[in-house]
Structure 1
Amino acid sequence: MTNDITQVQNLVSQFVRGMIRTGMLMFGSIFFLFRLNTRFGLIALCAFPLIVGCMGLCLTKANPLFTRLQAQLDEINAILQEDISGIRVIKACICEGYEKLRFGKANGALVCTQLQMLTILTFMNPIINILIYVVVALILRVGAFEVAAGAATPGVIMAAITYTTQLLNGIMGLTMLSQNISRGFASWKRVKEVLHTEPQLQDGSFDGQTEQHGKIEFRNVSFSYPGSDRMALKNINLTILPGETVAIMGATGCGKSALV
């Protein structure tokens, strides 16, 4: 969850800076292309929906992978935290092999998801570059006719190519920003779920004042957390007499907190 909060913070800061910079580059380039030559501006403007559509298609396929990636990253961090905090218990119980296998399985799933996401995003940048270079080629083609007809000069053509290059830089910035926004929104959904979760245990009306004394007794008590198929406690029998002190010991994740 710490990773999700960091992603949300990065999303806010990068969104503000990126949108200002990218917007100035893209709209400024198209504006000056129209001022140089209306045909040049129309060529760039017609290619813009294709570029945005390609970007949207790739991000639509990558968005579910962002959510899965954050969950798998949290799982790896949880395993590391458990292993480091319970390293003495792991060594005492000779569970090093099991913990290596558990971490390797979680890390392999993370690598697989990361590769799938990068494969999708890897296709996005070349396709966008191809579209931009098609725009440059069309501007050169139209510009050649304009120069031959005396309606434009070579300097105007070079200026149009420069503005198209600036437009390319803006689109590349928008591509990187969209990837960060998609990952940030995946993290925001997970953070929002935690913030809006209603606790299963509610405070009672006990005011702490009582004169009654009695023992605590468990008889074949079993317990599992909501949504889990694994039993945290199974057939527990326990008797605690008044004034008696009981120590609960065991490995990490064996159900000590659930018993309390």
Structure 2
Amino acid sequence: MLKRLGHSVREFKKYAWISPVLVAIETFIETFIPYLMSKMIDNGIIPGNLGYIEKLGGFMLIGTFVSLAGGAGASWYSSKASAGFAKNLRHDLYHHIQDFSFEDVDHFSTSSIVVRLTTDIMNIQQAFQMLIRAAARAPLMLIFSITMAFTVDSEMAMVFVVSVPLMAIGLTIIIAIGRPLFRKVYQRYDWLNRVVRENLRGIRVVKTYNRAETEDKKAANASARIYEVFSKAERILQLNSPIMQFVMYGTLLFLAWFGAKRIVAGSMQTGQLVSLIAYAMSVLMSLNILSNVFNQMTISLASAQRIDEVLTYKSTLTNPKEPVTTVKNGAIEFDHVNFAYADDHVNRLTDINLHIKPGETIGIIGETGSGKSTLVQLIPRLYDVNQGTVRVGNCDVRDYDIRTLRDNVSMVLQQNVLFSGSIADNLRWGDEHATNAQLIKAAKLAQADDFIQSLPDGYDTYIEQGGSNVSGGQKQRLTIARALLKKPKILILDDSTSAVDTHTDSLIQEAFHDELPDMTKLIIAQRISSVQGADRIVVLNDGKIEAVGTHDELMESDPVYQDIYNSQIKGGESHAKN
């Protein structure tokens, strides 16, 4: 895991190495100064040797400036290395997620992925900076201080041989207990993120139904659950502070008591005791730093595991070793297809057999939950079948290069998404090199040109986040135009004219029929009028094909289609009379 994450350091590796080197220089000088101070006291101050004092004082002053420069440089390089590491790691994680199928995203959940890209990476960035600076400084200070203490007085320094292992054992036990709790904390962060995301996406519904108070309670409950586990974990980790202080202050008392007795007995000098106490404080400081490092590492380890979980996750959709890179035509074939979503033991599609010729217009209709959207999502490999085969251009979709397949299958989903930017920018998602003339042609086919031209800035009109400044019908027409700019062999409209009035809907169908005769078109709709003119209509019922035929054929032979037609047509007539 650490090796995989460490790969993201890349070009910042030199900064990550320079920082510990500077820390080593800073720490060595810092721990050598108390030794010089003991010599100054014993050989300079007590005898009154002014020349000796000035000489050692000069060395100490130079050492202090060098140590200061080393510490400042270490801070700069560690900050640059950690920020660069986080940048690369965020890129690597985001890049890996782009290859995920819908099923993969469902596996982790959108809210959990967002937390991993933000909070978890921030934790790792802080831990990495601490690792190459504080984690390098603390052990070096500990080693140098104990070494210098033995140089000053080996008998008195033996106290560190007892105290340091005691604290190490205490820290290990605390971390072992606290670490699992932090994984729970970030799982609960995922839930809070989900609550906030749902609230912001559905803010209009929340306001309309006056449910702000309910949403407040949901967010408060999610925050309280985080507080419950996080505070428990923090309380456990904070136990290292009293343990460390108890052991180290005991060490100081030992040094002060027995050191004073040895000075009185004449077996130790005053400067030696002063330096030993200084080294004891250095050991205390280094262990304090180590405890903070362990705290951060414990927190970040849970984050590192969550990020590694995503980085090592193999997508359910992969390219074959020698992929097909050309789609011959828009023919589509479903051959005994069964499909169920992950962790769902119920088939959403069962034994689907359907052959669609190139250039055909196919209507797909059925009740809510009948499997219409699931069926068409198998064509561009947004999901893979569990059994059977889906073919496009007489080739199994799993044999295609995924990019090639999706460039030739243009899909307008139920949830229409526009991005912040101009209308032209959004349309060019279909073809980034499209000319203005091509944008206008696609918009005209989607019946969007008239309303675009009526806007103050036309195709340069800025679209707010999520397309909040255009109507639902306008948004649908823009996404259809965007799909047409791909010039695909297959166009799938997944209930993407539901917010468009029937007259405009009929104009779109007419334009498709006249201008795009060679493009295979699949139209999922709730309204019979949207598919009535299709070459064939597929009726789905509970994940199975109920019937296939023209409008007239289905009106004669299929009771499910008849029920849908009668409920819409007669329902509309009854409403008109009233």
Q: TM-score range by the shorter chain?
A: 0.7 to 0.9
Corresponding pairs, count:
243
What SS does the aligned partner of 2:268 have? coil
For 1:4 and 1:110, how far apart are their aligned partners in 2?
15
CA 154–248 in structure 1, closer or farther in 2 if over 3 Å, else same? farther
Q: After superposition, where does 1:195-210 map in structure 2 within 5 Å?
A: 195-201=311-317, 208-210=327-329
Q: 1:91 to 1:248 in 2, by over 3 A?
A: farther
Displacement after TM superposition at 1:154 (Å): 2.6
Offset at residue 238 of structure 1 (A): 6.6
Whole-Å separation in 2 of the counterparts to 1:166 and 1:136: 11
Q: Counterpart in 2 of 1:172?
A: 288
Aligned counterpart for 2:160 among listed residues 41, 44, 68 = 44
Which residue is equivalent to 2:144? 28
Match of 2:170 among 45, 54, 59: 54
Distance 1:43 1:67 in 2: 38
**Which residue number in structure 2 is paired with residue 67 of structure 1?**
183
TM-score by length of 2: 0.38
- Within a 5 Å distance, the mapping from 1:180-259 to structure 2 comes to 180-201=296-317, 208-212=327-331, 225-226=342-343, 236-237=369-370, 246-247=495-496
Q: Does 2:257 align with 1:141? A: yes
Q: Secondary structure at the match of 2:329?
A: coil
The question of 1:129 aligning with 2:254 is answered no
Query: Structure 1 residues 79 and 151, CA, compared in 2 at 3 Å: closer, same or farther?
Result: same
Report the counterpart of residue 112 of structure 1 in structure 2: 228
Residue 78, structure 1, aligned to residue 194, structure 2: yes
- Cα distance in structure 1, aligned partners of 2:287 and 2:125: 23
1:258 maps to none
Q: Which residue of 1 aligns with 2:127?
A: 11
Letter in 2 for 1:169: M
In proportion to residue count, which structure has more strand?
2
CA positional deviation for 1:185: 1.4
Higher relative contact order (CA 8 A, sep 6+): 1
Residues 26 and 170, structure 1, Cα contact 8 Å, conserved in 2: yes
* CA shift in 2, pair 1:68/1:239, >3 Å: closer
Instruction: Give the distance between the partners of 2:311 and 2:492, measured in 1 at CA.
Output: 39
Q: How far 1:82 moved relative to its partner? A: 2.6
Instruction: Measure, in 2, the Cα distance between the counterparts of 1:120 and 1:244.
Output: 55
- 8 Å CA contact retained: 1:222, 1:235: no
Q: Give percent identity, aligned residues only.
A: 19
Provide TM-score, normalisation by structure 1: 0.80
Structure 2: 5+ residue runs without aligned partners? 1-115, 349-366, 374-490, 499-578
Q: CA deviation at 1:45?
A: 2.0
Amino acid at match of 1:80: V
- Separation of aligned partners in 1, 2:310 and 2:145: 43
Task: Quote the Cα distance in structure 2 between the aligned partners of 1:137 and 1:154.
Answer: 16
Residues 187-219 of structure 1: CA deviation (Å, up to 9, x unaligned): 1100011111122345698854434479x9xxx
Whole-Å Cα distance in 2 between the matches of residues 175 and 33 of structure 1? 22
> What is the RMSD computed on CA atoms of the aligned residues?
3.4
More helix by share: 1
- Conserved? CA contact 1:3–1:74, under 8 Å: no
Q: Is residue 11–residue 184 contact of structure 1 (8 Å, CA) maintained in 2?
A: yes
SS of the equivalent of 1:236 reads coil
The aligned amino acid for 2:181 is: L
2:170 maps to amino acid: C
**Code of the aligned partner of 1:73:** Y
Question: Which amino acid in the other structure matches residue 247 of structure 1?
Answer: S
Structure 1 unmatched runs, 5+: 250-260
Q: How far is the alpha carbon of 1:243 from its aligned partner?
A: 8.1
Identify which range, 15-24 or 162-171, moves more after superposition.
15-24
Partner of residue 161, structure 1 = 277
Structure 1 residues 94, 170: CA separation in 2 closer, same or farther (over 3 Å shift)?
same
Question: Which position in structure 2 is the counterpart of 1:252?
Answer: none
CA gap 1:61/1:148 in 2 versus in 1, 3 angstroms? same
